Amino acid sequence: MSVTRRRVVALLVLVLAAAPVLAGSAEAQAPAGPVKVGVLKLTSSAPIFVGVEKGFFKEFGVEPELVYFQAAAPIATALAAGQLDVGATGLTAALYNIVLGGEKLWIVADKGREWPGYPLVAIVVQKELWDGGLRSIKDLKGRRIGVTQLGSTFHYHIGNILQKEGLALSDVRIVPLQAMAATVEALKGKQVDAILVPQPFPGAVEAQGFGRIMAWAGDLYPWQIAAVFYSDKLARDRTRAVAFMKGYVKASRYYHDAALVQKDGRPAHGPAYEELVEITAKYTGARPEIIKLGFPFQDRNGRLLVPDIERQMAWWVANGFMKRPLPLRSVVDTSFVEEAVKGLER
Amino acid sequence: MAVERVVVADRTAFLRRPDHRVVRALALLGLVLLWELVTRTGWVSPLFLPSPSGVLAEGLDMARSGQLLVHLLKSLQRLAWGFGVGALAGVGVGVAVGFFAMAEAVVQPIIAATFPIPKIALLPLLILWLGIGEASKVAVVALGVFFPMAINTYAGVRQADPLLIRAAVSFGAGRWSVIRKVVVPSALPMVFAGLKLGAGTALLLLVAAEQIAADAGIGFLILQSGNLMETTQLMVGIVVLSLLGVASYWALGALERVVIRWRHT
């Protein structure tokens, strides 16, 4: 290649790269590199997996790239540090504290709720205590309860369940054990009396015989446990942000119709159910029969329970895990999901 | 007779090591100022690196609410037990192994085999044996202190000048008298070196132990603040740890000067 030709090519590349900027608001089809999505390898990430596998994101011109994490809080940190564009995971005190610390990120859509009739997180007690008559939340008074971390969704959930039953968080001893596997081990070793763990752990504990599921936490206290978050950078890139959301809402509808519909209190799976199980098994690395234990509930259109976000912040503040509450509009933005739903119809 | 003075340049001047006390203070101050500057100008977000003034304010806040004291006392209590038990056992074993051939034959291979195990790796095992309460936390700190103490004391005892021992014996000293009056005093400098090593190890293991199933302590504070993304609080914990390290080194140095007076006068 001659020098001049190389120069011409370089100029062409430059012009092409600048084209979307020059064109002002480019069409949704204009790709600008992959959208990095931080997820956990859990059943509750299924809508994201579906969107990737079925090409729903690509349909709207967005190239997703999955980045796997081990816990929810680091996803929020990576998002604030600009290493991710989208996070899809549990709502923790860490996430709110990041925004309180001056970084920007946006809670934009539903990514899973604790809901009656949809098993997700269970309260599991030691088999011997269960046999000895520890069968209700009130019996947990004075007991040691194992969770992954302080400030985690499990911490929030048990605190609210206790309050609903007339107890306080200080009536029990919350023992943070850092990892889910360690939490299960602590119950096995009788170092805690009860634990909160998500599926498939409760099923596995009962199968091994050292614990009993006392209750499904969602039956006792429903709440917006997980959400989709946008980095500030993606939120500013309106076209791309809405395009991603269109793909997500489409995946969300597919997920809802396949796995969440109930008839007379019993699950009535849609025709795509087997495919959904297969996709989830492929991405989580779990066996299909474990996946079939249950899919968590979420809104068909990915709409968020906005008042619950306010309730969560108030609880973290009241219990000393957050300095002060944030104004809702500094952390929640539902305009993307609304625009996407409007643009999709049905 | 006239004395002719010849000025000779000290050609070993480069070997002199002046104290530069002012430079020492300025270096530390400069680092803190640079840190404050970096955070003030907004180059680094306060979430990822809280400013020193913010850390100080948060620390004062936590001290006023009594929260910091709860964590500090809990950690100091664990340190005192772990350090005390580990140091006493280490000195005892070290003296015995250094002095009695039989004890050396029995214990030395055992120490050689167990010393290289990183004590953190034993933490899960200790939790299984002793539960998630105080015992396992104290035990891991004690183990971490025991080994440097035992090994240093042993080396110190072995280094005792045979001539001094012989002299003591020829003046009619018994076995215990020799240990008490010759062997232990000559081992003391090594014992103190072991104590200082042990103090660092003890802090390290304490923080690790407090990150599992604790509900108070500096290690717990650091982990919890990290989990909650309260980075300013996290930094307070780290600064307290640094101060604890400096304080223990200084206290041991002061104790050393009192105990081994002959060495410093």
Question: pLDDT tens digit string along A142-200?
Answer: 999 999 989 999 999 999 999 999 999 999 999 988 888 889 999 998 889 999 998 77
Q: Is residue A52 part of a domain?
A: yes
CA–CA min distance B69, chain A (Å): 17
CA–CA min distance B226, chain A (Å): 8
Q: Is residue A128 part of a domain?
A: yes
- My answer on whether A65 and A109 are in the same domain is yes
The answer to whether the CB atoms of B229 and A95 lie below 8 A apart is yes
Q: Do B174 and B208 meet the contact criterion of CB atoms below 8 Å apart?
A: no
Q: Is residue A270 part of a domain?
A: yes
Name all domains of chain B by residue range, CATH numbers in brackets: 52-264 (1.10.3720.10)
Under 8 Å CB pairs connecting chains A and B tally to: 59
| Chain A environment of B223 (Cβ under 8 Å) | 176, 178
Best residue in B125, B227, B234 for a mutation probing chain A (most A CBs within 10 Å): B227
- My answer on whether A235 and A334 are in the same domain is yes
Q: Is residue A21 part of a domain?
A: no
- My answer on whether A135 and A279 are in the same domain is no
CA closest to A99 among chain B residues: B47
The answer to whether the CB atoms of B215 and A191 lie below 8 A apart is no
CA–CA min distance B225, chain A (Å): 9
Q: Is residue A126 part of a domain?
A: yes
Q: Is residue A3 part of a domain?
A: no
The answer to whether the CB atoms of B47 and A80 lie below 8 A apart is yes
- Which CATH number belongs to the domain containing residue A80 in this structure? 3.40.190.10
- My answer on whether A241 and A153 are in the same domain is no
- My answer on whether A265 and A324 are in the same domain is yes
Q: Is the pLDDT of residue A98 over 60?
A: yes
The partner residue sitting opposite A103, judged by closest CB among B47, B127, B212, is B47
What's the structural domain count of chain A?
2
CA–CA min distance A63, chain B (Å): 29
- My answer on whether A212 and A256 are in the same domain is no
CA–CA min distance A24, chain B (Å): 30
- Residue B79 pLDDT grade (very low, low, confident, very high; cuts 50, 70, 90): very high
The answer to whether the CB atoms of B228 and A81 lie below 8 A apart is no
pTM tops 0.90, yes or no: no
Residue that finishes a domain, picked among A220, A248, A271 = A220
Residue that finishes a domain, picked among A220, A255, A284 = A220
- My answer on whether A85 and A205 are in the same domain is no
The answer to whether the CB atoms of B212 and A177 lie below 8 A apart is yes
How confident is the model over B1-58, as pLDDT tens digits? 677 888 888 888 888 888 788 898 899 899 999 999 988 887 888 888 899 999 999 9
- My answer on whether A249 and A106 are in the same domain is yes
Give, for A35, the enclosing helix (H) or strand (E): strand A35-40
CA–CA min distance B84, chain A (Å): 27
Q: Is residue A276 part of a domain?
A: yes
- My answer on whether A259 and A209 are in the same domain is no
Q: Is residue A284 part of a domain?
A: yes
| Chain A environment of B212 (Cβ under 8 Å) | 177-178
- My answer on whether A228 and A215 are in the same domain is no
> What confidence score (pLDDT) does residue B213 get?
73
With a CB cutoff of 8 Å and minimum separation 6, the contacts of B27 are none
CA closest to A151 among chain B residues: B228
Q: What are residue A87's phi and psi, to 5 degrees?
A: -120, 145
Which amino acid belongs to residue B29?
L
Residue that finishes a domain, picked among A161, A193, A220 = A220
Q: Is the pLDDT of residue B204 over 50?
A: yes
- My answer on whether A53 and A99 are in the same domain is yes
What value does the mean pLDDT take over residues A276-281? Answer: 93
- My answer on whether A105 and A240 are in the same domain is yes
Burial class (CB in 10 A: 0-12, 13-18, 19+), B219: buried
The partner residue sitting opposite B132, judged by closest CB among A77, A80, A191, is A191
Q: Do A301 and A255 meet the contact criterion of CB atoms below 8 Å apart?
A: no
The per-residue DSSP string of A154-212 comes to HHHHHHHHHHHTT--GGGSEEEE-SSHHHHHHHHHTTSSSEEEEETTHHHHHHHHTSEE
Instruction: Give me the domain span that covers residue A174.
Output: 121-220
The per-residue DSSP string of A271-302 comes to TTHHHHHHHHHHHH---HHHHTT---B--TT-
> What confidence score (pLDDT) does residue A346 get?
62
CA distance A285 to A40: 12
The contact set of A with B (CB < 8 A) is 73, 76-77, 80-81, 93-95, 97-98, 101-103, 149-152, 173-178, 186, 189, 191, 321-322
